[in-house]
Amino acid sequence: MTDIPFAAPRLPVERGLPVALLACPDYAAPRLRQAVFQALESAGPRVGVGLRVLVKPNLLTARPLACAAPEVTAAACAWLLERGARVEVADSPGFGRADAVARKIGLEAALRPLKLKVRGLDRPVPVRLPLPGAPEGRGARFMVARRALECDLILSVPRVKAHSQMLLTLAVKNCFGCVSGLRKALVHTCEGRDPDYFADCLAALWAALPPVAALADGVRAMHVTGPSRGRPFALGLIGASPSAVALDEALCAVLGLEPGRTPLGAALERRKAEGCATAGWRAEYPLLRPGDFDARGFELPRELAHTSFHPARFVKSCIRRLWAACKP
């Protein structure tokens, strides 16, 4: 199989990007749905009849706080369906099968009234990712799910979480789930030795995908550490933007953090990604602004835990993942 060079369609050439931020204190059904609809109507992607949208929730593992809340993902799908989009919901969890994780955290039940099921991001295609400073034709190569490459739009639905390796994991980092299956473990183990290189790979993956819009679940965030074993933090926020990068930068502002202080934010700035303030893009806030939220007490990891390549550790991790994937 040969590598496929992939050029993603870009956002319209305009410097202002809407970012909707709303206060939402809990996941109570009427209020949560209204918040999601208002966010997407104020700053969501342009959606027309027949548009193929991949809704990509954060389904890391079968721990509710490690995943985007089912109510948020279901509300996003309802909004898209009402506008005539052709919706698929899919992910490639770090542990277990997507459908099994969805069932255990309640996403399967939340999507049932919409007649949607959670699919796996499988059928990988090799995609070569050009990296800053790499010779032409050289760079990283990721095995990316065909379903992610063939849609018209990706709606990334992350939970706002601290991350022991990337400091924060938000909408752009959530796109790493488009890399199929156990290949993510290998990438984390090999490329994770150098956080800046890994971040450049993640930024290049985002650029190789179809346009990525975002809806962030910040109602109950995860802090101190992450992405799976952190502590809950009541941030009380729903955020949306047609640009995953712009929403990530707004969420950093909510947390009082310069985007370039995170490895991935710095990598996006290095490639002058669309949505980065340092590349001339301006966030426009039709609703609340980052300063309207109180994130005092939100703790980031004190130091980054960089992954080293230890063959025995990697094999053990793969065995655990295969065992989890085979469980009903």
Q: What is the pLDDT of residues 79-90, one digit of tens each?
A: 999 999 999 999
Show Cβ contacts of residue 41 under 8 Å, excluding neighbours closer than 6 positions.
79
**What was the pLDDT predicted at 2?**
34
**What was the pLDDT predicted at 309?**
45
- ∠ CA(102), CA(108), CA(110), 5° rounding? 120
What's the CA gap between 71 and 63, in Å, rounded? 15
What's the CA gap between 238 and 38, in Å, rounded? 10
Segments of the chain with pLDDT less than 50:
1-2, 4-9, 12-13, 192, 308-309, 313
| Centroid of chain to Cα 9 | 18
**What was the pLDDT predicted at 94?**
76
Q: Which amino acid is it at 178?
A: C
**What was the pLDDT predicted at 140?**
81
Query: b/e for 28-51, b at 16 or more Cβ within 10 A?
Result: eeeebbebbbbbbebbbbebeeeb
> What are 142's strand-pairing partners?
127
**What was the pLDDT predicted at 216?**
98
Whether 119 contacts 147, CB under 8 Å: yes
Q: Model's pTM, two decimal places?
A: 0.90
**What was the pLDDT predicted at 15?**
80
Determine the topology of domain 16-326 in CATH: Rossmann fold (3.40.50)
**What was the pLDDT predicted at 321?**
54
The residue with tokens 């063959």 is: 311
State what percent of residues in the chain have pLDDT above 70. Answer: 83
